[in-house]
Amino acid sequence: MKFPDLHATLFWVLASATALSAISVVLTQNIVRSAVWLLFSLAGTAGIFFLVGADFVAATQLIVYVGGTLVLVIFGVMLTAQGPFISMKTSAAEWAFSVVAGLVFLGVLLVTVTQGKWVGHFAAVSPAESTSAVALGESLLGIADATPPAQLIGTAAPDQPLPRTRMSYLLPFEIVSVHLLVVLIGAAYLARAKRRRGAAA
Amino acid sequence: MPSLGLLIAIVATILCLTFVAVSAIFFIWLERKVAGRIQDRLGPTRVGGRFGWLQTIADGIKLLVKEDIIPANADHFLFRLGPYIAFCGAFLAFVALPFGNGIVAVNMNVAVFYMLAVMSTEVFGVILAGYGSGSKWSLFGAMREAAQVVSYEVPMAICVIVPIIVAGSMNLVTIGQQQGGCFVNWQMFHDPFSFLAFWTYFTCAVASCKRAPFDLAEAESELVAGFHTEYSGLRWSFFFMAEYGAMFAVSGIAILLFAGGWHTGFLPFDPSVALKGELGSVTVGETNPWVIDFGWLLGNLINVIVFILKGWVLVFVMMWVRWTLPRLRIDQVMMACIKYLLPISCALLLGVSLWQLALASFEWLHYFSWALGGLCFFAVLGVAWKLFTTDQPPPDTGMGALLQQGGPLMAELAKK
Amino acid sequence: MTPITLNHYLALGAVLFVCGVLCMATKRNAIGVLMGVELVLNGANINFVAFAYYLRDPQGNAVFLVEGQVFALFVIVLAAAEAAIALAIVLNFYNNHLTVDVDTAEELKG
């Protein structure tokens, strides 16, 4: 096992950066700095995606989240930030309660994670050989053969493996496209300059 | 073998970093020279070196020793962070940019998409710099930059999809390999839509690098210096390195996607393939032998030089445009994107898809690339012919004319 | 160093998820709440992609290679849509109340 060393190092670096940035998002009071920590957290997540061979998802994460959504968020902050509102204080009691509740929640999740028995094998995929983009594209085009032929695991009768149903995702893709169009119109409608409001009222 | 992988990664990083820094030095000198020539003056000559090439070095030393000022109003953390994020965004794009046949730091399956994605994070550094400076000029520059870059990303990405549809891959090495041989094999000449997509892409790329005539984020006549008003010294130079790095990166994408990548367009073979195994090789390592083929190396050296020269030509065009065209207004910039470039790019996308379908049934469409390529070749030849055969001296409006008119006057003065 | 398993990725996802929930609970700025939502969605995304990578059948085929990544893609796209709408609402709210403090949004209280 020579390759996993590099993988493990990269994982620890990226994971600690991502997690620490996420914690900083919560702890920072200044909303713009929060957004910066969110940037690092999202970029770290993209790095994690690259690490597990999902390069197309990682690039999408960067271009949509970091280049689009986060810029939009910062834009919103700049438009709505007026001196005193940039940092809105949360009271100590609220903090204490949230932290306790959050730690309990984290504990429950971690116990669930460690109790789960996943049947998993490790396989390294180098970015050049990763064909996830091709498989994704074919699957979104409605080609069911794009999903790999595999057998279901963790079924009730492990000695009689079942072939999995091969799916394609053309319909969800179209629905998401229409959804985005609706959102485009909706956001433009909501955020438009209201000139008639004063005259009507 | 992790140690070898790590070593290769470090070497590749250092090479990319060196290339970005050195080309920034060269581009700053070139920018001054181009600006000088276009404005009918000489550009830097005084500092030394042939054609004043030491000017940038002198500038660099000046920037290094300048006082590092952080304004009292600034948000220190964001102010410091801004330049680094901008530079990282531009630099990370080079990780997936192939300079030759297989000469790439990471041969990525989604290289084009990755490069666009990473370069889109550069805008974040500019916004943070503008916000963190605590100055209204910077903030205006940052807001303009955010609106402009996010808008221009859309037609740029759609134009990039056009050659990807033709090539059937997002791997830049594969796309480059497909365009070998005669220059009519370049994607640009494949069909009329790709040809138009090249120019549309280049326009959007100029805008996304915030270069004139789209440099609204700096707009020194309105906003002092835009987002980097408050920056000085080394931090300011990081923004410059980011800008020149991004210029070469978008030019590199354009070259690889549309203009033949590392191929000269005249050699019928790829030198790195043709010379492979011809000049002997050396094997390094015992357990994991690593063959160094000198022929392949020499061939790829030619490839890299051709690729970098092509990239420089596009960067030169960007400078030429900058010093020729006046700056647009912000509403004109947004209108150009949303009303013109976006519909044009969508139409090109639709057109190239239909063309690919039509290729299957109409065999003669394959000859289109010869017609378009030949036409462009003769057009370029014609322009060059005109340039070199016009014996009319260039219009003498500058110092020369002044001296000519002043000549008799001086003579008279001397007589007295 | 122990080899990295699926559980490591799931733990990272859990940390991001909890941070997001905490962010939604403690921030009074509407845009801060929005950031919490983004963190939660990212935590879920890490789980999707990690499962797509690790979950293999006894023959070594990735069982849900495409599913995990397709779901992650859809989550990213829908998160962008959600952010656009949420910001439009926040801007509207700001126009009416001159603040983005979520505690002042109590007009619909019965």
Share of chain B above pLDDT 70, in %: 88
- Amino acid code (one letter) for A181: L
Residue among C10, C52, C57 whose CB faces A54 most closely: C52
How far apart CA A149 and CA C62 sit, in angstroms, is 8
> What's the whole-number mean pLDDT along residues B365-393?
82
Strands B281-284 and B290-293: antiparallel
Which residue of C lies nearest to A114 if distances are taken between CA atoms? C7
How far apart CA C108 and CA C110 sit, in angstroms, is 6
Condensed to tens digits (0 to 9), the pLDDT of residues B295-334 reads: 778 888 888 888 899 999 999 998 888 888 888 888 888 8
How far apart CA C6 and CA A119 sit, in angstroms, is 10
Domain membership of residue A157 (yes or no) is no
CB A32 to CB B2 under 8 A?
no
A35-39, A54-58, B37-41, B213-217: segment of lowest average pLDDT: B213-217
How far apart CA B122 and CA B181 sit, in angstroms, is 36
How far apart CA A77 and CA C72 sit, in angstroms, is 27
How far apart CA B102 and CA B173 sit, in angstroms, is 6
Contact between residue B97 and residue B173 where contact means Cβ atoms under 8 Å apart: no
> End-to-end CA distance of chain B, in Å?
86
- Contacts of A92-99 with CB under 8 Å at 24 or more apart are A94/C26, A95/C26, A98/C22, A98/C25, A98/C26, A99/C22
CB A161 to CB C57 under 8 A?
yes
CB C4 to CB A153 under 8 A?
no
Which DSSP symbol is given to B281? Answer: E
Radius of gyration of chain C (CA): 18
CB B139 to CB A131 under 8 A?
no
Share of chain C above pLDDT 90, in %: 17
A183-192, B177-186, B393-402: segment of lowest average pLDDT: B393-402
Number of domains in chain B: 1
* Domain membership of residue A188 as a residue range: 131-147+165-192
Radius of gyration of chain A (CA): 23
pLDDT number for residue B1: 47
Domain membership of residue A176 (yes or no) is yes
Q: Considering only CB atoms, which chain A residues are within 8 Å of C78?
A: 176, 179
Q: Which domains does chain C have, with CATH numbers?
A: 7-98 (1.10.287.3510)
Hey, of C8, C10, C26, which one would you mutate to test binding to chain A, going by the most A CBs within 10 A of its CB?
Answer: C26
pLDDT number for residue A201: 39
pLDDT band, residue C17 (cuts 50/70/90): very high
Find, among A125, A143, C92, the residue nearest to B110 by Cα.
A125
Q: Considering only CB atoms, which chain A residues are within 8 Å of B85?
A: 39
CB C57 to CB A151 under 8 A?
yes
3 state SS of B325:
coil
- Amino acid code (one letter) for B143: M
CB B120 to CB A39 under 8 A?
no
How far apart CA B86 and CA B128 sit, in angstroms, is 9
Show which residues on chain A lie within 8 Å of chain B, measured between beta carbons: 2-3, 5-6, 30, 32-33, 36, 39, 43, 55-56, 58-60, 62-63, 66-68, 70-72, 74-75, 78, 127-133
A57-61, B18-22, B72-76, B392-396: segment of lowest average pLDDT: B392-396
Alpha carbon of residue B139 to chain centroid: 27
CB B2 to CB A56 under 8 A?
no
Kindly state the helix (H) or strand (E) to which residue B284 belongs, with its residue range. strand B281-284
Which residue of A lies nearest to B150 if distances are taken between CA atoms? A68
CB C76 to CB A60 under 8 A?
yes
Domain membership of residue A160 (yes or no) is no
Find, among A53, A52, A166, A139, the residue nearest to C63 by Cα.
A166
CB atoms within 10 A of CB B163: 28
Domain membership of residue A108 (yes or no) is no
Window 83-102 of C: residues touching A by CB (8 A cutoff) are 83-85, 87-92, 94-95, 98-101
Give the CA distances from residue B42 to residues A51, B12, B38, B46, B47, in Å, rounded to whole numbers and listed in that order: 51, 38, 9, 10, 13
3 state SS of A52:
coil
Helix axes B233-258 and B2-38, enclosed angle (nearest 10): 100
Contact between residue B101 and residue B270 where contact means Cβ atoms under 8 Å apart: yes
CB A68 to CB B5 under 8 A?
no
Which DSSP symbol is given to B364? Answer: G
> What's the whole-number mean pLDDT along residues C28-55?
87
How long, in residues, is chain C? 110
Window 49-88 of B: residues touching A by CB (8 A cutoff) are 75, 77-78, 81, 85
Q: Considering only CB atoms, which chain C residues are within 8 Å of A164?
A: 63
Contact between residue B258 and residue B187 where contact means Cβ atoms under 8 Å apart: yes
And the tokens for B358?
Answer: 């039509």
- What's the mean pLDDT when you consider all of chain B? 82
CB A56 to CB B110 under 8 A?
yes
Q: Count residue pairs from A and C with Cβ separation < 8 A.
A: 263
What are the start-end ranges of the E strands in B80-150?
none
Question: Same structural domain for residues A27 and A80?
Answer: yes
Alpha carbon of residue B8 to chain centroid: 26
Is 90 exceeded by the pLDDT of residue C40?
A: yes
Domain membership of residue B365 (yes or no) is yes
ipTM for the predicted complex: 0.86
pLDDT number for residue B351: 92
CB atoms within 10 A of CB A8: 17
And the tokens for B210?
Answer: 């915030």
Find, among B92, B95, B112, the residue nearest to B104 by Cα.
B95
Which residue of C lies nearest to A115 if distances are taken between CA atoms? C7
B227: CB partners within 8 A, 6+ apart: B126, B127, B129, B130, B133, B138, B141, B142, B145, B217, B218, B239
Give the CA distances from residue B300 to residues B8, B116, B259, B312, in Å, rounded to whole numbers and listed in that order: 18, 25, 18, 18
Residue among A25, A164, A190 whose CB faces C39 most closely: A25
> What's the whole-number mean pLDDT along residues B372-392?
83
Number of domains in chain A: 2
pLDDT number for residue C42: 92
Which residue of C lies nearest to A59 if distances are taken between CA atoms? C73
Domain membership of residue B237 (yes or no) is yes
* Domain membership of residue B215 as a residue range: 67-379
CATH number of residue A40's parent domain: 1.20.120.1200
Residue among A2, A71, A78 whose CB faces B123 most closely: A71
A120-129, B234-243, B369-378: segment of lowest average pLDDT: A120-129
More confident residue, B85 or B404: B85
Domain membership of residue B411 (yes or no) is no
Question: Partners for B (CB, 8 Å, 3+ pairs)?
Answer: A
Which residue of A lies nearest to B173 if distances are taken between CA atoms? A128
Domain membership of residue B4 (yes or no) is no
pLDDT number for residue A113: 82
A42: CB partners within 8 A, 6+ apart: A61, A65, A66, A70, C38, C42
Q: Considering only CB atoms, which chain B residues are within 8 Å of A58?
A: 114
pLDDT number for residue B411: 66
Domain membership of residue A201 (yes or no) is no
> End-to-end CA distance of chain A, in Å?
73
Residue among B1, B116, B128 whose CB faces A36 most closely: B128
B11: CB partners within 8 A, 6+ apart: none
Question: Same structural domain for residues A70 and A18?
Answer: yes
Hey, of C51, C66, C78, C103, which one would you mutate to test binding to chain A, going by the most A CBs within 10 A of its CB?
Answer: C66
Residue among B5, B121, B143 whose CB faces A67 most closely: B121
Give the CA distances from residue B111 to residues A34, A133, B171, in Å, rounded to whole numbers and listed in that order: 30, 11, 5
- Each residue's pLDDT, cut to its tens digit, for chain A (201 residues) gives 444 467 778 888 899 999 999 999 888 888 888 888 999 999 999 999 888 888 888 888 988 888 888 888 887 887 776 655 455 666 778 788 888 888 898 898 888 888 876 665 656 666 666 667 777 888 888 777 777 676 666 666 656 667 777 777 888 888 988 988 888 888 888 777 665 555 443
pLDDT band, residue B3 (cuts 50/70/90): low
How far apart CA A36 and CA A70 sit, in angstroms, is 9
A140: CB partners within 8 A, 6+ apart: A168, A169, A170, A173, C70
Phi, psi of B63 (to 5 degrees): -65, -35
Peptide bond before residue B213 is cis, with ω within 30 degrees of 0 = yes
How far apart CA A183 and CA B71 sit, in angstroms, is 41
And the tokens for A81?
Answer: 């930030």
Question: Same structural domain for residues A75 and A19?
Answer: yes
How long, in residues, is chain B? 416
Give the CA distances from residue B253 to residues B77, B226, C26, in Å, rounded to whole numbers and listed in that order: 33, 28, 44
